[in-house]
Structure 1
Amino acid sequence: MFKRVVLKLSGEFLANENGFGISPETSRRLAGLIKDALEGTQVELAIVIGGGNFWRGERNGKGMDAATADYIGMLGTVMNAMALQDAMESVGRPTRVMSSIHMAAVAEPYIRRRAMRHLEKGRVVIFGGGNGAPFFTTDTTSTLRAMEIGADVVLMAKNKVDGVYDSDPRKNPDATRFDALTHQDVVDQRLEVMDATALTLCMDKNLPIVVFDIFQDGNLRRLFAGERVGTLIQS
């Protein structure tokens, strides 16, 4: 059973049906799902959220300075973190946003010990602003924060994909799902779980990863209860 977890969410989970921007209704539905899964557990939850519903550096920033494009994406993650905080608190779950990019009017600066203290007090902590430096994805931020705060696992949330497959199950109906893999298996088979930097960090520090469908009824609660869901990756 996991005590402290980092949940990696896609920014698109907050978006409207076109996959862009923030839908308050969609955000509250996601917040309610997370709140219900936490009820009655002792799990300490930190969240890292992407910014793809606003900006993707390699696509939207084409022709721009690459570092500038990445910083714009980091600002998008702060907007998503604030929106998710609002949704979480609207369903009654105390939440704190911490940003690697200092913007004191809307978020606390990321300080490792302060983040851990929030978790110990039962608050959900949402990390925005990436890791504060360009050229790294929010996958890498998830693994870095997980190691810093002593998390037991990184939960990689997906939509309509219930684990890791040997090929894209949305394109190949005969794709095979893996119940368990090692980090090295993921590298050797070039499976698309997370970016290479993030995966290498997890492998070096033996940090488990679970890939699962967050919108499948009961999955998140079952994970918090220690049940096997999706695909487990560990050394």
Structure 2
Amino acid sequence: MKNKSYIGISFIILVFGIYAIPKIIDRVKNNDISVQDRLNVPVKEKKSGEAKNLVKIGNAPQFSLTDQNGKTISNKDFEGKVYVVEFFFSTCPSICPVMNQNMLMIEDEFGKNKNFGIASFTINPTNDTPEVLKKHAEQLGVTSPNWHFLTGDQDYIYNIANKGFNIYAGESKKEGDAGFEHSGYFALVDKKGNIRSRKDKSGNPIIFYTGLNYKDKEGFQDDLQGKYKPGIHAIKEDIAILLDE
């Protein structure tokens, strides 16, 4: 009886081999063996492919300023890095604290990556000296050596903001503005120095991301200036895509 059982099992194995082995060989020849797993789940697209959907808005402007450590920092220091740009001032009583906290969320996720950086340009350089900016960075809890708080000539910085990145910054006499007003937008720059962004639901480039909200998974959120832009959740996704590009 045992011998008959062995013969039966051997026969089943032989039949399976005759049926399955040619199919396996064909898959290897056609390079299909890694296309899907045995549960027939398609392999996800690579993020580098998704980066093609991030529009190139234009070249980031050239600049050379002083950071919180008294070091001269230019756009060349960001070559080969993905970086985020903001315009703020340390005594801002309104939107800057929100922007700073949201930028900290970005730093927490990407700050240890040597290919990532942040450029925070002050629009009140008269007050925001390197010493003031260094204290500001310490109070925020900034740990990344690639987060540079930049100061210099005011007109020069305004030119970088308004003409270079097309992010509004200026002086203000309105009560509650502390003498300055600016957009709450963040700009995203890729490793080659191109300003990049995703598209909205209509297929148009959003150009900038609002630094004033985080919970934007469902779409667009009011950035307190009457406009709608994807925020921190979106820019974090797109930073990850560009880092893999």
TM over 0.5: no
Q: If you compute each CA radius of gyration, which structure gives the higher value, 1 or 2? A: 2
Question: Could you state the TM-score of these two structures normalised by the residue count of structure 2?
Answer: 0.35
Give the TM-score of the pair, scaled to structure 1. 0.36
